[in-house]
Chains A and B, each alone.
Chain A
């Protein structure tokens, strides 16, 4: 049995969706973990869900980063356990310094809630190793502050290490200015850390895990994670 923790901050709102999506996989159990908990031992996968933790006060994710559970999240990341931050979870991971860069206000100033296309930029991660490079996934976004920013050196390093796992694209897989919904630099939609076990992404894979909800492309990301855990592979073994 693969055990997943979905961390619940005050203001998280995709926490229960994440639990339902994760539990739809065979051999997977998921539990909500309140942000005041100080241990995540016994969990194989840590998910930081979407929402508006602490009302987005100060900056998105800026206060959640100080929640007691974050020490355990940091430790899990350090020990090579898969950590997945979705939307607000991505913002929290950036604020916590577990991922480089930051998410700022969408270029259009609008909150954008719609299906977009994502191009998988590399299979060399436990989140994408079951998906071929160049594959196009359809996954919804729902955010007001999802415009990825990092300085030029950081971006160059992300490219060099193939840490950019997903880019916004059109339905044919072409990355164009028009296919970039929020103004993210280089159309970045999801990145991993250098050890490749921490993923942050703005799109919501948990919302497309059931055909009733309009698609199942989100399953391909979770399938990759669970398959690599089941095979007993060290997450860092999927490094480049």
Chain B
């Protein structure tokens, strides 16, 4: 079975995330006062022909150059299997 990664992509702290703000406002509106901050990113499931090594340079290259835009986003790699 091929390896599998879950790539988490989040807007950088310095980038305005109006979507997160809107979700937070909705949660607060529902009375969820415990919700303090929301930021919305995305997750990409990737099956990979190779070892489940999150430090793999080729894997990191596609995360940096394709799956995320380093100007506005940070990524992290989670090994699923």
Contacts and interface: CB of A to CB of B under 8 A. Distances in A.
Interface of A: 58-59, 62, 94-95, 100-102, 104-109, 147, 149-151, 183
B71 A102 contact: yes
Interface of B: 11, 14-16, 18-19, 22, 66-67, 69, 71-72
Given A104-B11, A104-B72, 8 more contacts: A58-B67, A62-B69, A101-B71, A102-B69, A109-B19, A149-B72, A151-B71, A183-B18
Contacts, number: 35
Contacts of A105: 18-19
DSSP class of A's interface residues: helix, strand, loop or mixed? Answer: loop
Nearest to A105: B18
A108 B15 CA distance: 14
Contacts of A106: 18
B16 A147 contact: yes
Contacts of B16: 104, 107, 147, 149, 183
CB-CB nearest 3 A-B residue pairs: A102-B71, A102-B72, A109-B18
